[in-house]
């Protein structure tokens, strides 16, 4: 079966320019090799002692004298309940090896999981996600299917030497604190509103970590749009995007069962222009990820988060009776008009205009840019380091805040098996130095199946 990262498509519907075209070469297991392809000139010239020193060897980093200083960030593990369609299967064994090395490394102070640990979205449309059971039972099933990964996390937590923190992502935005505690007892969790959270590591208020879906129209919690059909639901339209795209993957990218009814732009005002842009996003999905089910067939089973009915593609996509006519929406009707209210509920500091939110929703670069908008160029923010996940596009981007101080954004990437155009099994390390509370180095690494750790980029404050 053709392999593809569906989540990558859902977050990058439109093309972006990759910083890394392929995986790094292997070398001696456990060592670090430098890939200078994307390293900045400034970082290359910096000769400070810790710049090129990182290891997960149990002997530690000599320059740190066995002191625990390093903060490791991983994200987008996408652990699933069923290996017939899960995105992370082959990479589970390397992930367990990585976590075992983290546990024994004497210089690791914190391990932060920045969202999409448990995957409730990547499920074929014909499947009952919870299989007639409860959400907690489903989460436990995910843990059972990934028992060695969960066991590795629990060993780190039980040891008590490394603080392990979890922040929600969009694929696990329904997963409650109780659900996580049931499989990872004792883990620290950082949440603000349901389905969202952010974290500043101990002693470092200038750092902020969050998944990044808070700023995405299709992935941010939506407690408004479907109150009439699913009271209490927070599932955004990206959930249904993912269910259908997963179906296309499982079905082997079949020929579409029928032609998608066209929608054309009309002259009824800005709201209708937005509805057309929303339709175009759906059209792009169904063109690239066709399914066997017909447009009006009730092929999407729910029984999740207040949804109890089966739904069709036509329930989700905007439609119009005739060319140039009024564009109607069934599900998520009103989601365009209530975007500002939704952002307020989701604690978005700098509001994103709805047209921009729709047009740029597929751009990984736009998610990256929100680090600058929400933090570095926000006069009420004091953050100088921002780490997101979500896009599966590992990179580091230096910039400046309004005070002219250097800032650093990093995306920690993903651990799914297939990540087209980008490496997988990547992680970020923040290295404070000396007695300063400001981390001096932020580095991005690639972990290969043989245990080799390859540096992709480093920036310093």
- What residues does each domain of the chain span? 19-36+47-218+362-460
- Say if CB 443 and CB 432 are below 8 A apart: no
Residue closest to 74 by CA, chosen among 86, 62, 56, 58: 56
Alpha-carbon torsion, ordered 238, 243, 247, 250, to 10 deg: 100
User: For residue 42, is pLDDT > 90?
Assistant: no
202 Ramachandran zone, left/alpha/beta (phi>0; psi -120 to 50): beta
Q: What is the pTM of this model?
A: 0.90
Which residues are CB-neighbours of 287 under 8 A, at least 6 positions away? 260
**pLDDT at residue 64, as a whole number:** 87
pLDDT digits (tens, 9 = 90+) for 74-129: 999 999 999 999 999 999 999 999 999 999 999 999 999 999 999 999 999 999 99
Six-digit token string for 20: 């890394």
Q: In the predicted model, what is the mean pLDDT of residues 252-265?
A: 92
Q: Of 101-115, 145-159, 420-434, where does mean pLDDT reach its minimum?
A: 420-434
User: For residue 454, is pLDDT > 90?
Assistant: yes
Alpha carbon of residue 402 to chain centroid: 28
**pLDDT at residue 95, as a whole number:** 98
Q: First CA to last CA across the chain, in angstroms?
A: 45
Residue closest to 438 by CA, chosen among 71, 23, 46, 67: 71
- Say if CB 256 and CB 290 are below 8 A apart: yes
**pLDDT at residue 434, as a whole number:** 57
Q: Angle between the 135-145 and 147-159 helix axes, to the nearest 10 degrees?
A: 90
Q: Of 32-46, 79-93, 201-215, where does mean pLDDT reach its minimum?
A: 32-46
The rounded distance, in Å, linking the Cα atoms of 408 and 440 is: 10
The rounded distance, in Å, linking the Cα atoms of 109 and 111 is: 7
Percentage of the chain exceeding pLDDT 90: 83
Which residues are CB-neighbours of 182 under 8 A, at least 6 positions away? 136, 139, 140
**pLDDT at residue 202, as a whole number:** 85
**pLDDT at residue 5, as a whole number:** 46
The rounded distance, in Å, linking the Cα atoms of 313 and 294 is: 8
SS3 per residue for 14-64: CCCCCCCCCCCCCCCCCCEEECCCCCCHHHHHCCCCCCCCCCCCCCCCHHH
- What DSSP designation does 166 have? E
pLDDT confidence band for 39 (50 / 70 / 90): very low
The rounded distance, in Å, linking the Cα atoms of 380 and 166 is: 26
Which residues are CB-neighbours of 125 under 8 A, at least 6 positions away? 243, 244, 246, 247, 291, 293, 299, 300, 301
Six-digit token string for 60: 């530690």
User: For residue 18, is pLDDT > 90?
Assistant: no
Report the topology of domain 19-36+47-218+362-460.
Purple Acid Phosphatase; chain A, domain 2 (3.60.21)
The rounded distance, in Å, linking the Cα atoms of 121 and 126 is: 13
Q: In the predicted model, what is the mean pLDDT of residues 391-395?
A: 98
pLDDT confidence band for 199 (50 / 70 / 90): very high
What DSSP line would sit under 304-338, residue for residue?
BTTB-S-B-HHHHS-B-SSTTS--B-STTTTTTTT
CB atoms within 10 A of CB 5: 23
Percentage of the chain exceeding pLDDT 70: 87
Q: In the predicted model, what is the mean pLDDT of residues 444-453?
A: 96
């Amino acid at each position: 079966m053709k392999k593809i990262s569906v989540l990558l498509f859902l977050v990058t519907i439109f093309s972006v320019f990759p910083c890394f075209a392929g995986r790094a070469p292997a070398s001696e297991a456990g060592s670090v090799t430098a890939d200078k392809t994307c390293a900045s000139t400034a970082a290359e010239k910096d000769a400070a002692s810790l710049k090129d020193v990182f290891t997960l060897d149990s002997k530690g980093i000599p320059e740190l004298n066995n002191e625990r200083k390093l903060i490791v960030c991983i994200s987008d593990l996408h652990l699933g309940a069923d290996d017939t369609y899960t995105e992370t299967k082959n990479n589970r064994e390397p992930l367990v090896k990585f976590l075992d090395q983290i546990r024994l490394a004497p210089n690791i102070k914190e391990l932060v999981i920045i969202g999409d640990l448990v995957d409730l979205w990547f499920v074929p449309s014909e499947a009952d996600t919870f299989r007639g059971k409860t959400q907690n039972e489903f989460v436990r099933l995910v843990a059972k299917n990934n028992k060695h990964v969960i066991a590795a996390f629990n060993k780190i937590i039980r040891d008590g030497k490394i603080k392990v923190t979890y922040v929600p992502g969009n694929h696990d935005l329904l997963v409650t604190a109780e659900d996580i505690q049931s499989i990872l007892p004792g883990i620290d969790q950082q949440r603000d509103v349901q389905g969202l959270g952010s974290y500043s590591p101990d002693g470092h208020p200038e750092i902020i970590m969050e998944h990044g879906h808070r700023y995405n129209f299709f992935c941010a919690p939506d407690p408004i749009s479907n109150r009439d059909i699913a009271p209490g639901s927070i599932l955004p339209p990206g959930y249904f995007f993912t269910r259908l795209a997963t179906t296309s993957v499982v079905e082997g990218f079949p020929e579409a069962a029928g032609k998608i009814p066209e929608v054309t732009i009309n002259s009824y005002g800005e709201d209708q222009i937005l509805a057309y842009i929303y339709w175009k996003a759906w059209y792009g999905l169904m063109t690239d990820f066709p399914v066997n089910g017909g447009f009006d067939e009730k092929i999407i089973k729910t029984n999740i988060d207040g949804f109890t009915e089966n739904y069709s593609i036509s329930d989700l996509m905007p439609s119009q009776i005739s060319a140039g006519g009024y564009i109607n929406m069934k599900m998520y009707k009103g989601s365009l008009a209530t975007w500002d209210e939704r952002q307020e509920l989701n604690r978005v500091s700098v509001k994103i205009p709805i047209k921009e939110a729709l047009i740029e929703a597929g751009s990984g670069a736009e998610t990256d840019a929100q680090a600058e908008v929400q933090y570095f160029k926000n006069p009420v923010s004091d953050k100088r380091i921002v780490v997101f996940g979500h896009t599966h596009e590992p990179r580091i981007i230096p910039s400046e805040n309004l005070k002219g101080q250097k800032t650093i954004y990093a995306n920690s990437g993903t651990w799914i098996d297939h990540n087209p155009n980008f490496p997988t099994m990547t992680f970020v390390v923040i290295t404070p130095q000396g007695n300063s509370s400001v981390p001096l180095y932020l580095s991005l690494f690639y972990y290969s199946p043989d245990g080799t750790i390859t540096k992709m980029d480093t920036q310093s404050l």
